[in-house]
Amino acid sequence: MPLVVMCGFPCSGKSSRAQELRDRFVQSSQRKVHLVGDAESGAAKNSVYADSQSEKNLRGAQKAEVERRVNKDDIVILDSMNYIKGYRYELFCLIKHAQTPHCLVYCLTSPEESSTWNKSRDAGAQYTQEIIDALILRFEAPDSRNRWDSPLFTLQKDDALPFEAISDALFKRKAPPPNQSTQSQPLSSSNFLYELDKVTQEVLMAVFDSQKTGVPGDLIAVPGATEKIEATRDLNMAELRKLRRQFISYTKMHPTENIGQIANMFVQYLNKSMH
């Protein structure tokens, strides 16, 4: 069922708001409410956030837990900083695939306020000042104009929790429709894998050749596709090949019945990956 993504600086009140929201859902609904986050993982936050690979592993584990918990009956609250725009977009793609609504709750504080709250915690629960400063510096604030950050509820420390509005956003909105490139369809053609390999390679070469003469912002036409690639940035061949492998792996598990749509599906996938 719906996903609530918490967001904010470290020590911005996210966990308190997440717990408050969980309690309200438990009181007003018969649905199960799952809380997923840093506290539940048992991670030692200073050591995790001091190492980029450990932090990446933690995000991956939390995303996997959200994916496992999201279903048509339960509510999932992801209680973490979720400060990376690309990660929030990945969560949006996840709920699109699950065909369930979501919203984002942004706990807004100043860096000074978060640092003060951090120092008021027990010594074992504090972030080091170096870690908290680095996380605040890297924070990418949500923007309601982005569909993956919308609906957005921004809360300051003294604001009342807008429970009814959050509930309406989750239960009275339709789930975002899945993109054609993420829909599961049956395999019906014996030459599907051949066409998948051939078409994606042709698209790759068209993009690479266009980048030699084009500039960021150009629309790139590719063979067999009606849609065009929005070249917001250049992609080197290594990155293009990695994206092609990822697309092929996913499409093998979710093959399309219409081979003629492979090029458009790959274009959609590349456009998402460049944002």
213 pLDDT tier (thresholds 50, 70, 90): confident
Q: What is the mean pLDDT of the chain?
A: 86
For residues 54 and 200, what is the distance between their CA atoms, to the nearest angstrom?
33
**Residue 255 sits in the same domain as residue 120:** no
Dihedral Cα 128, 129, 134, 136, nearest 10 deg: 110
Asked if the model's pLDDT at residue 220 lies above 90, the reply is: no
40 pLDDT tier (thresholds 50, 70, 90): low
Q: Write down which residue in 105, 137, 171 finishes a domain.
A: 171
Range of the domain at 68: 3-171
As separate numbers, helices (DSSP H) first and strands (DSSP E) second, the chain gives: 11, 7
Give the residue with greater pLDDT, 152 vs 213. Answer: 152
Q: Are residues 46 and 131 in contact, defined by beta-carbon separation less than 8 angstroms?
A: yes
Tell me what pLDDT residue 117 has: 94
User: Which CATH number goes with the domain that contains 7?
Assistant: 3.40.50.300
Residue 178 lies in a domain: no
**Residue 154 sits in the same domain as residue 230:** no
182 pLDDT tier (thresholds 50, 70, 90): very low
pLDDT tens sequence across 126-159: 999 999 999 999 999 999 999 899 999 999 999 9
161 pLDDT tier (thresholds 50, 70, 90): very high
**Residue 219 sits in the same domain as residue 95:** no
**Residue 118 sits in the same domain as residue 228:** no
Six token digits for residue 233:
């940035």
Amino acid, res. 225:
A
User: For 23-49, what is the mean pLDDT?
Assistant: 86
**Residue 69 sits in the same domain as residue 142:** yes
Tell me what pLDDT residue 124 has: 83
**Residue 137 sits in the same domain as residue 245:** no
Q: Write down which residue in 111, 138, 171 finishes a domain.
A: 171
Tell me what pLDDT residue 195 has: 83
Q: Are strands 219-220 and 75-79 parallel, antiparallel or unpaired?
A: unpaired
Asked if the model's pLDDT at residue 177 lies above 70, the reply is: no
Residue 177 lies in a domain: no
Q: Are strands 3-8 and 102-107 parallel, antiparallel or unpaired?
A: parallel
How many domains does the chain divide into?
A: 2
Six token digits for residue 250:
């996913």
